[in-house]
Amino acid sequence: MLRSAAAPTLATPRVMGLTAGTFFVAGGAAALAVILAAHFPDGRDRLVLLALAGTAVLTGAGLLVAGWRLPRPAYHGVLLLGTVLITLAVPLCPTTATALAISTVYVLVAVDVVFFFPWQHGAAHLAVLFAAGAWALHEREGVSAGVVAALVVVCLVVATAIALLVRIASDASHDGLTGLLNRRGFDVALDAAVAAGRTAPLSAALLDVDHFKTVNDGGGHGAGDALLQRIADQCAAALPPGAVLARYGGDEFALLLPGHDGRAALAVVERLRAQAHGAGLSAGVAQLSGGESGADLVRRADTALYAAKAGGRGRSRLDDLDSVELARDLALAVADGQVRAWFQPVVSPTSGGLVGVEALARWTHPVRGAVPPLEFVPVAESAGLIADLGRAVMADACRSARALRDAWGRDLLLTVNVSGRELTAGGYADSVLEVCRSTGWPVDLLVVEVTESLLDGSSGAALQALEELRGHGVGVAIDDFGTGYSSFSRLDTLPADYLKLDSGFIAEITTSPRRAGMLTALLSLAGSLGLQVVAEGVETEEQAELLVALGCPLAQGWLFGRPVPPADLAGARPAGPAPALLPPHELGTPHELSPPVR
Ligand code: C2E
Ligand code: CA
Ligand code: CA
């Protein structure tokens, strides 16, 4: 849409200075041409016209040099001055022809007017300009009302055409809502900055509005738009010189920071996040490294942003790994079966008996050593490796769990983590069922863990994949519940069987009576919704005792066992019968894909 309320965004201070300056010099030069070419019966007219031409040229030169320093409103004065100079010059011209020649300079002023200002301000300027022009020409012999009207029409048509063209050009690289550059404009600026040279550091950041969907859903699109405009204004006001801020997508902003290394860029982003009152922002930052393109840089910033969101949102992450290299090594490791699933016990806190295991991906890089999953999972996601990684880990986990089940002669539950992009990519349910089939792991002993935040803004594809898996008997766990914006009401609608309470929540149950109260309420709520609760990150006896007292059915944490290679658990055959594994409503459901238990 062509916006009428704002000036075209192409009219930056520098462009305004250059355009107005050039037009003033051109107007002055036209007057000088008349002075040189025409015969003046009255020598005084010639001198005054010379003074006016000189004023125009000098003003133009001043604008060319320093016009970019003038605030936009000052250009109202500049353009009025132009109108006045022409209106004084026209009556001094010795002939009708020269008067008409000079009055064409009005067109230059009109063009500036519609370029620099919003439509309504431009219209006011044009009205003044046409009135002045009509007055300047009214006593000329041979200049009828029709001639003036013809001049006005030509001037109007030229000005309107220019106005439309600059607005179209502005809109192509700018965002209509915030007035910032859009993705295309940002990419142009980014490529220019990358090409400009590699001597100074260059960093980029992506910032994402946390829970934007909630704002949009709750307050309507008007509220969402207002929030984006406010964030854009607040961030733009706090930018360092030379920085470029753009609206990169729906609720995503991009920032280009020439001259900033990764750490300095992170500091700027932290300042912007603090500046954006009333909205949480997650951010990913990356510094350009040798041989990288602008697109590579943005991809790494996106990886870091993803990690920031996975880490609980409302935070910034700096991608200080050379993730291009890491992704390449990871691809080889996945193909080579070097990414393994380790198992952390999931127990009944009452008896301490083992109920199942959570599979956690482990990768030891030949040079870097052990790389934590919180680092390599986002890399896999942005490099398009996540489906392969997820399948490899799940297959390894299923094979190892089957070996344990065979060795112990009893069932255990196997839970496996799923990442957002894995679930939304399509074909996830089929891929899981295929892994179960090929490894001989019973579908009804498998649980996939997803985070609530993954589901809250997600497409129907994620929910559909989970529903499909549940239809086949695979359980679904909501992971990390109790962080960020976890919402009780969502529990009712999520397709889940297990609720895993985040370690951050569990850490406070023995120190905060309110937390203990919440836990009591959550257990009762989960019970009535048919959800089994798993307390994560249990590290102390006190926590375990409280969980037992409150009747929490399942727990996991260093107190009961750290993640270990599956073979380490083979000797630890749990005593007694396997505790109830499945949520009450799932018990007794036939699962066609389950192989017979040996
Ligand atoms: P998560 O699913 O919340 O996994 C639990 C994390 O807490 C694990 O970290 C585990 O080692 C750690 N942990 C367990 N007990 C305790 C405790 O008592 N205290 C403390 N402080 N920490 C404890 P890990 O293995 O580094 O995994 C981190 C995250 O990486 C996981 O968080 C999960 O989101 C992700 N992840 C791990 N494996 C995979 C995978 O195969 N696929 C995907 N998509 N994500 C994975
Ligand atoms: Ca998990
Ligand atoms: Ca968790």
**Ligand nearest to C-alpha 373:** 1
User: What confidence tens digit (pLDDT) does each residue in 338-348 have?
Assistant: 999 999 999 99
Supply the DSSP string of 182-209, one letter for each residue: -HHHHHHHHHHHHHH-SSS-EEEEEEEE
CA of 527 to the centre of ligand 2 (A): 21
Q: What are phi and psi of 227, to 5 degrees?
A: -65, -45
Are 239 and 158 in a shared domain? no
- Return the pLDDT at 47: 94
Residue 223, token pair as written in the block? 């509220």
User: What confidence tens digit (pLDDT) does each residue in 111-157 have?
Assistant: 999 889 888 888 999 999 999 999 999 888 889 999 999 999 999 99
Ligand 1 atom at shortest distance from the alpha carbon of 422: 44
Report the CATH number that the domain containing residue 565 is assigned in CATH: 3.20.20.450
Are 65 and 193 in a shared domain? no
- Return the pLDDT at 590: 31
- 187-201, 447-461, 499-513 — which one is most confidently predicted on average? 499-513
Nearest CA to ligand 1 atom 36: 373
Is residue 206 within 8 Å of 319, Cβ to Cβ? no
Are 27 and 152 in a shared domain? yes
Nearest CA to ligand 1 atom 46: 417
Are 156 and 39 in a shared domain? yes
| Catalytic residue list | 536
The mean per-residue pLDDT over the stretch 180-184 comes to 91
- CA-to-CA dists, residue 203 to 181, 286, 290, 297, angstroms: 17, 6, 12, 8
598 in a structural domain: no
CA of 594 to the centre of ligand 1 (A): 28
326 in a structural domain: no
The mean per-residue pLDDT over the stretch 77-95 comes to 95
> Which residues lie across from 359 on neighbouring strands?
343, 416
- Return the pLDDT at 540: 96
Are 297 and 352 in a shared domain? no
Are 536 and 557 in a shared domain? yes
142 in a structural domain: yes
Nearest CA to ligand 1 atom 23: 537
Of 226 and 322, the one with more pLDDT: 226
Report the CATH number that the domain containing residue 254 is assigned in CATH: 3.30.70.270
**Last residue within a domain, chosen from 171, 200, 218:** 171
- Return the pLDDT at 485: 62
**Residue 326 pLDDT level (bands cut at 50, 70, 90):** confident
Q: Which residues line ligand 1 (CB under 6 A)?
A: 344, 360-361, 372-374, 377, 390, 393, 417-419, 449, 479-480, 503, 537, 539, 557-558, 563
579 in a structural domain: no
Are 72 and 128 in a shared domain? yes
Ligand 1 atom at shortest distance from the alpha carbon of 386: 44
CA of 234 to the centre of ligand 3 (A): 35
Are 291 and 187 in a shared domain? yes
**Residue 72 pLDDT level (bands cut at 50, 70, 90):** confident
Nearest CA to ligand 1 atom 3: 480
Best residue for ligand 1 mutational test, from 417, 448, 450 (most atoms within 8 Å of Cβ): 417
**Residue 456 pLDDT level (bands cut at 50, 70, 90):** low
Which pTM value belongs to this model?
Answer: 0.57
Ligand 1 atom at shortest distance from the alpha carbon of 360: 38
Q: What are phi and psi of 413, to 5 degrees?
A: -90, 140
**Residue 179 pLDDT level (bands cut at 50, 70, 90):** confident
88 in a structural domain: yes
Decide if pLDDT at 220 tops 70: yes
**Containing H/E element for 248?**
strand 244-249
Best residue for ligand 1 mutational test, from 340, 360, 499, 558 (most atoms within 8 Å of Cβ): 360
CA of 537 to the centre of ligand 1 (A): 10
Nearest CA to ligand 1 atom 7: 537
Strand ranges for 428-572 from DSSP E:
446-451, 475-481, 498-501, 532-535, 554-556
Is residue 31 within 8 Å of 89, Cβ to Cβ? yes
- Return the pLDDT at 276: 83
Nearest CA to ligand 1 atom 33: 417
Decide if pLDDT at 591 tops 60: no
Number of folded domains that form the chain: 3
Residue 341, token pair as written in the block? 């699933």
Instruction: Determine the Cα–Cα distance for residues 339 and 377; give it in Å rounded to an integer.
Output: 11
Tell me the three-class secondary structure of 342-392, residue by residue.
EEEEEECCCCCCEEEEEEEEEEEECCCEEECHHHHHHHHHHCCCHHHHHHH
597 in a structural domain: no
pLDDT mean across residues, the chain:
88
Nearest CA to ligand 1 atom 8: 360
Q: Which of 142-156, 313-327, 351-365 has the lowest mean pLDDT?
A: 313-327
Decide if pLDDT at 451 tops 60: yes
Decide if pLDDT at 392 tops 70: yes
Residue 499: helix, strand or coil by DSSP? Answer: strand
Kindly give the residue spans of alpha helices, DSSP state H, lying in 440-502: 452-456, 460-471
User: What confidence tens digit (pLDDT) does each residue in 250-295 have?
Assistant: 999 999 999 999 889 999 999 999 888 778 899 999 999 877 889 9
Instruction: Determine the Cα–Cα distance for residues 41 and 49; give it in Å rounded to an integer.
Output: 13
CA of 237 to the centre of ligand 2 (A): 40
- Return the pLDDT at 458: 57
**Last residue within a domain, chosen from 113, 142, 171:** 171
- Return the pLDDT at 390: 96
432 in a structural domain: yes
Are 481 and 430 in a shared domain? yes
Q: Which of 61-70, 79-88, 549-558, 566-575 has the lowest mean pLDDT?
A: 566-575
- CA-to-CA dists, residue 50 to 46, 199, 493, angstroms: 6, 50, 81
**Ligand nearest to C-alpha 379:** 1
- Return the pLDDT at 596: 31
**Last residue within a domain, chosen from 171, 196, 213:** 171
Residue type, 377: V
The angle, 0 to 180 degrees and rounded to 10, between the axes of the packed helices 119-137 and 105-116 is: 170
Ligand 1 atom at shortest distance from the alpha carbon of 502: 3
The mean per-residue pLDDT over the stretch 25-50 comes to 93
Decide if pLDDT at 349 tops 70: yes
Tell me the three-class secondary structure of 269-334, residue by residue.
HHHHHHHCCCCCEEEEEEECCCCCCHHHHHHHHHHHHHHHHHCCCCCEEEECCCHHHHHHHHHHHH
The mean per-residue pLDDT over the stretch 199-227 comes to 89
- Return the pLDDT at 306: 86
Are 35 and 136 in a shared domain? yes
Decide if pLDDT at 395 tops 50: yes
- Return the pLDDT at 317: 87
CA of 130 to the centre of ligand 3 (A): 71
Segments forming the whole domain that contains residue 81: 3-171
328 in a structural domain: no
Are 114 and 62 in a shared domain? yes
Are 190 and 161 in a shared domain? no
CA of 484 to the centre of ligand 3 (A): 13
